[in-house]
């Protein structure tokens, strides 16, 4: 598809939006492929700036790496490469392999939570759900300090996030078999009461009031447990999009970050221009996310703007037509077009895993390939 001509006409004072990425990784046994509970050892083995850019996660077999605030994709890519290299090396020193995959592909025998009061409270509140096998996501932050604007942007994002979810699908395998879903991580997370599509909110006051009511009802422990697919971050002046599986390669992650930033930029302009967000029923939004998790880009997606199912790549083309002006303004259009062409040729992370599994019949060969993609610069 030939994307419409983009014009550089930044609205108001939005300027060039900053961005950052949080990536969660599994720590796997190099021989068995099962999860290894060595996160503490890996974090202790990190060196240099990477030690300050890691976070403790909810599983002993996970490690999260967090970029600083970045101004452009080159800066973001440099940080992602450096953080992955540091984490790969630290994992190796701890006897593990760092693997960018959305859900535990084989087994996780050790499922206790880290010895922290908050994690113990979550374990008591949510029971077996809190002890599911580890899952790993990619969270993209886009600088937007105006919380009222951020809430309205999240309303507009609702119709597009299933497309982003499909692009990131990278977890078809679980417990040693193909689940039939491109993103099993998405299915596994649905058991948590505070995870899912972002509700529609009339204002930031409506957002805050709803969160307070959910905390009072015992659904969430606190505001940090708002795990909706898009939210005004509880920690940073950003819109945080957390719908995607962790990406197998750095270029996959940078592509997703570029698309999310451009979406936030375009939709913020729409909000300021008085364009209303589509009021789509929550059940249809949930259905669109299920379809994205099931099919990835290899089938159909639900078009929440017009209704009905359409080929997934048609909706990717629509997304690109929407965000092309912002991509051009940020200097990202050429990179994104090249990476989408690669994705169309090679498939999502889920499609790549299935191809290796079909060729070899060996799930450990899939893990070998994922580890190589994770470490590649």
Whole-number Å distance between alpha carbons of 303 and 138: 23
**Is the pLDDT assigned to residue 85 strictly greater than 70?**
yes
Question: Between 84 and 12, whose confidence is greater?
Answer: 84
What is the phi/psi pair of residue 135, to 5°?
-130, 150
Mean of pLDDT values over 206-218: 97
Condensed to tens digits (0 to 9), the pLDDT of residues 191-207 reads: 999 999 999 999 999 99
Question: What's the pLDDT at 157?
Answer: 98
Mean of pLDDT values over 91-98: 98
Question: What's the pLDDT at 16?
Answer: 86
User: What percent of the chain has pLDDT above 70?
Assistant: 96
Condensed to tens digits (0 to 9), the pLDDT of residues 102-155 reads: 999 999 998 989 999 999 999 999 999 999 999 999 999 999 999 999 999 999
- The string of DSSP letters for 109-137 reads ---PPPS-HHHHHHHHHHGGGGGSPPB-E
Residue 227 C-beta-side C-alpha neighbours within 13 Å: 16
Condensed to tens digits (0 to 9), the pLDDT of residues 230-242 reads: 999 888 999 999 9
Question: What's the pLDDT at 6?
Answer: 33
3-state class (DSSP) for residue 343:
helix
**Residues sharing a CB contact under 8 Å with residue 338, sequence separation 6 or more, in sequence order:** none
Distances in Å between the alpha carbon of 90 and those of 26, 47, 87, 230? 13, 8, 5, 31
The two tokens of residue 301 are 């997606």
Mean of pLDDT values over 167-194: 97
Condensed to tens digits (0 to 9), the pLDDT of residues 265-303 reads: 999 999 999 999 999 999 999 999 999 999 999 999 999
Distances in Å between the alpha carbon of 145 and those of 31, 210, 264? 46, 20, 12
Residues composing the chain: 377
């Amino acid at each position: 598809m030939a994307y419409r001509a983009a014009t550089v006409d930044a609205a108001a004072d939005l300027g060039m939006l900053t961005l950052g990425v949080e990536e969660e990784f599994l720590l796997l046994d190099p021989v068995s492929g099962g999860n290894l509970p060595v996160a503490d050892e890996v974090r202790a083995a990190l060196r240099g700036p990477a030690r300050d850019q890691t976070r403790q996660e909810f599983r002993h077999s996970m490690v999260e790496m967090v970029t600083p605030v970045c101004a452009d994709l080159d800066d973001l890519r440099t940080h992602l490469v450096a953080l992955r290299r540091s984490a790969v090396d630290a994992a190796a020193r701890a006897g593990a392999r760092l693997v960018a995959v959305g859900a535990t592909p084989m087994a996780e025998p050790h499922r206790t939570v880290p010895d922290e009061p908050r994690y113990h409270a979550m374990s008591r509140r949510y029971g077996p759900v809190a002890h599911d096998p580890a899952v790993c996501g990619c969270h993209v932050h886009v600088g937007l300090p105006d919380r009222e604007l951020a809430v309205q942007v999240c309303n507009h994002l609702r119709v597009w996030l299933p497309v982003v979810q499909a692009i990131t699908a990278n977890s078809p395998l679980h417990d040693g078999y193909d689940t039939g879903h491109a993103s099993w991580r998405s299915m596994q997370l649905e058991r948590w009461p505070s995870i899912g599509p972002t509700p529609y909110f009339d204002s930031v006051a409506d957002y805050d009031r709803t969160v307070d009511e959910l905390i009072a009802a015992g659904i969430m422990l606190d505001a940090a447990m708002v795990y909706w697919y898009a939210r005004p971050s509880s920690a940073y002046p950003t819109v945080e999009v957390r719908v995607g599986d962790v990406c197998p390669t750095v270029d996959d992650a940078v592509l997703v970050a570029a698309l999310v930033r451009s979406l936030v930029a375009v939709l913020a302009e729409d909000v300021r221009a008085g364009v209303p967000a589509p009021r789509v029923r929550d059940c249809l939004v949930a259905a669109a996310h299920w379809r994205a998790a099931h099919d990835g880009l290899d089938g159909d997606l639900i078009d929440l703007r017009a209704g009905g199912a359409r080929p997934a790549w048609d909706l990717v083309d629509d997304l690109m037509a929407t965000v092309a002006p912002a991509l051009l303004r940020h200097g990202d259009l050429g990179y994104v077009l090249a990476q989408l062409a690669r994705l169309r040729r090679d498939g999502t992370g889920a499609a790549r895993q299935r191809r290796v599994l079909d060729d070899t019949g060996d799930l450990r060969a899939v893990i070998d390939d994922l580890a190589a993609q994770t470490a590649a610069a």
